[in-house]
Structure 1
Amino acid sequence: MNAAVVTSYSQPPQYTTFDNPIPAEGEVLVQVRAAGLHQIVRSIAAGKHYMSTGKFPFIPGVDGVGIFPDGSRNYFGGARFPYGTMCEQTVITPAVVIPLPESIDDAMAAAIANPAMSSWFALDRAGFVAGQSVLILGATGTSGQLAVQIAKHRGAGKVIATGRNPEALAKLKSLGADEVVSLDQPTEALVASLRDAMLANGVDVVLDYLWGSPAEAALNALGAKGVVKPGGRVRFVQIGNLAGETIALPAHTLRSTNIELLGSGFGSGSMNGIAEAIGGFFQLAATQKFEFSYKAVPLAEVTERWGEKDGTTRLVFVP
């Protein structure tokens, strides 16, 4: 079959042939219709993710849309290594299989499920309830823009959105953000801006797509007097690390403030929980409009397209 194949962490995948998968007992053979190029997919293929194995060759992709042996069209994850999803066929264990509403086409489902899950599941991890306030670090990318909309659709009382891209930042209020904060400012000024925004709007949950210096600034701001009210609690959920792998975290921030640090991703939650998050989003997306930009391109163009990083448009490969 034709597939995108990774043979080295230092090179983009190549469009070439790969042995057809043979399902083992308990596995399902899927005819792939579309697969999204998500940040996690790039990271795994570059050897920079905790799910990278160091083994070659392999087919990239963590999820997709496909046709199952019974003729049903489903979103799926859980492909068996080395068979990812950027190929004509793959084999999966049916842990994450979600029937798709007719109103959601193949490319949209493949593009939107992973970024939508990142915030939906993180809100579940935080025990979010309607009426609470949410701070989103890194809200100008595709995942962050969806996070703003999902938080509002799930009843957030206030949404504070942050980012660097001025045009995308200006757009966030139309997506549901109550206040926006630019990350493109000196550290002390950023801490002050975040502190003031949280004092004005309150904060119960932080969704962090960035880590690095923006997370440091947010945690310092949370430690400021009055930001976390007496008896209050903030759940800081770490989702991505686009701004850095590590942070400097003063001990007194955790001792003096009721902050809970959580992770959200493969490994920090159950596959059932992830499947429920994606299924919950698809149910909502079947009747509610979400603003989300994606582009479907032939899988044969994977090598030249791999490096494209628009930031606001999700690429989808179609075999």
Structure 2
Amino acid sequence: MRAAMVSAMGIEPALGEIDLPIPLEGENRVKVAAAAISHVTKARASGAHYSANDEFPFVVGVDGVGRLDDGSRVYFALPRSPFGSMAEFAVADSRLCIPLPDDLDDFTAAAIANPGMSSWAGLTERARLKRGETVLINGATGTSGRLAVQIAKWLGAGKVLATGRNPIALEEIRQSGADVIIQLGVEPETLDNRFMKEFAEGVDIVIDYLWGRSAERLLITAAKAGSGASPIRFVQVGSISGSEISLPGAVLRASKIELMGSGNGSVSTDKLVEITNTVLRSTRPARLDISFRKVPFAEFNAAWPKNDSTSRTVFDLSQGTK
């Protein structure tokens, strides 16, 4: 079958041929219709992710949408290695296959499932969002951050603050639900003053997609501002701006900040499956919107190297690869 494969360490994935996967007991075979590029998919393909494969060749892709042998449509996650989701067929644990609602198309489902689950889990399972609370989304101009703004509002946040570097994108996010926008990349003193003002008025939860310098400034400023009667729940979800930060220990000793992560490991697999199911069934009722571009699978080699943080790439495998 046709598949996007990494043939050796350090080699970019490319279209090739691999034998059809044979499902084991407890697995489903999925005829793949759509699969999206994600940060995890890219990191695993390059060998940079902790779960990266050490056997070659392997098929890239951690999740997708397709049909089971009985014709039912499902979203599936974590296909068995060395088979990934970017292939004509995949095999996945039946417990990781989620039936799709009839009103949700394959490509929207493939685009929204992973970032939607990430945001929803961070807000509910980790931060324990309460209706009326104030949420700050650090890194809201990317596809995941934009979705997090919408989800926070749907889940009952009273006020949503959004940070990002692109002023045009920030204005778009304001139109789609953010109450306050904060531009990153300005003078450090200006940014600190802006953060201080918002924390003084009250921030309950920070959902961080960036890490790096902006996360440092947020944590330090939050500590200086004081966290009032309730602790600030700082949830680390992504690290687009850097994998490490420099944080004085006094920041945590002198504040009520609760610093935590959200992802596979901090949240159980069963719970993540449950949350993903909720996201998929809430997409239409909540009018959740995510930008994506649909690309024929035959164009994989050209599309893979391109990165666009404002729109996800979803490969169309429904029409074959010829």
- Fold similarity call, TM over 0.5: yes
Q: Are the structure 2 counterparts of residues 128 and 9 from structure 1 closer, same or farther at C-alpha, using a change threshold of 3 Å?
A: farther
Deviates more, 1:154-163 or 1:89-98: 89-98
Q: How far off is 1:100 after superposition?
A: 1.0
The one-letter code sitting in structure 1 at the alignment partner of 2:109 is A
Q: How far off is 1:53 after superposition?
A: 2.9
CA distance in 2, matches of 1:261, 1:311: 26
Aligned to 1:259: 257
Query: Residues 118-167 of structure 1, C-alpha deviation per residue, up to 9 Å, x if partnerless?
Result: 11011121111211111111000000000000000111011110011121
Q: How far off is 1:49 after superposition?
A: 1.4
**Runs (5+) with no aligned partner, structure 1:** none
The one-letter code sitting in structure 1 at the alignment partner of 2:64 is G
CA contact (8 A) 1:78 1:94 kept: no
Aligned to 2:238: 240
Aligned to 2:183: 182
CA distance in 2, matches of 1:303, 1:130: 45
Q: Secondary structure at the match of 1:24?
A: coil
Aligned to 1:170: 171
Aligned to 2:85: 85
CA contact (8 A) 2:209 2:240 kept: yes
RMSD: 1.3
Aligned to 1:142: 143
CA distance in 1, matches of 2:9, 2:152: 36
CA distance in 2, matches of 1:45, 1:180: 34
Task: Summarize the alignment of residues 194-273 of structure 1 with structure 2, pairs less than 5 Å apart.
Answer: 194-200=195-201, 202-226=202-226, 228-229=227-228, 231-273=229-271
**Runs (5+) with no aligned partner, structure 2:** 318-322
Q: Please list every run of at least 4 consecutive aligned residues from structure 1 whose deviation after the TM superposition is greater than 6 angstroms.
A: none
Aligned to 1:14: 14
TM-score, normalization by structure 1: 0.96
CA distance in 2, matches of 1:210, 1:285: 25
Task: Summarize the alignment of residues 59-98 of structure 1 with structure 2, pairs less than 5 Å apart.
Answer: 59-98=59-98
CA distance in 2, matches of 1:277, 1:55: 31
CA contact (8 A) 1:191 1:220 kept: no
Aligned length: 316
Q: Are the structure 2 counterparts of residues 3 and 135 from structure 1 closer, same or farther at C-alpha, using a change threshold of 3 Å?
A: same
Q: How far off is 1:105 after superposition?
A: 0.6
CA contact (8 A) 1:179 1:197 kept: no
Q: How far off is 1:10 after superposition?
A: 3.0
Q: How far off is 1:101 after superposition?
A: 1.3
The one-letter code sitting in structure 1 at the alignment partner of 2:32 is V
Aligned to 1:116: 116
- Aligned identity (percent) is 45
Q: How far off is 1:303 after superposition?
A: 1.4
Aligned to 2:272: 274
CA contact (8 A) 2:32 2:90 kept: yes
CA distance in 2, matches of 1:191, 1:9: 42
Query: Residues 216-241 of structure 1, C-alpha deviation per residue, up to 9 Å, x if partnerless?
Result: 01101111134x11x21111111111
CA distance in 1, matches of 2:24, 2:142: 38
Q: Secondary structure at the match of 1:223?
A: helix
CA distance in 1, matches of 2:171, 2:278: 29
Q: How far off is 1:311 after superposition?
A: 1.5
The one-letter code sitting in structure 2 at the alignment partner of 1:295 is R
CA distance in 2, matches of 1:122, 1:72: 30
Aligned to 2:50: 50
Q: How far off is 1:92 after superposition?
A: 0.7
The one-letter code sitting in structure 2 at the alignment partner of 1:141 is G
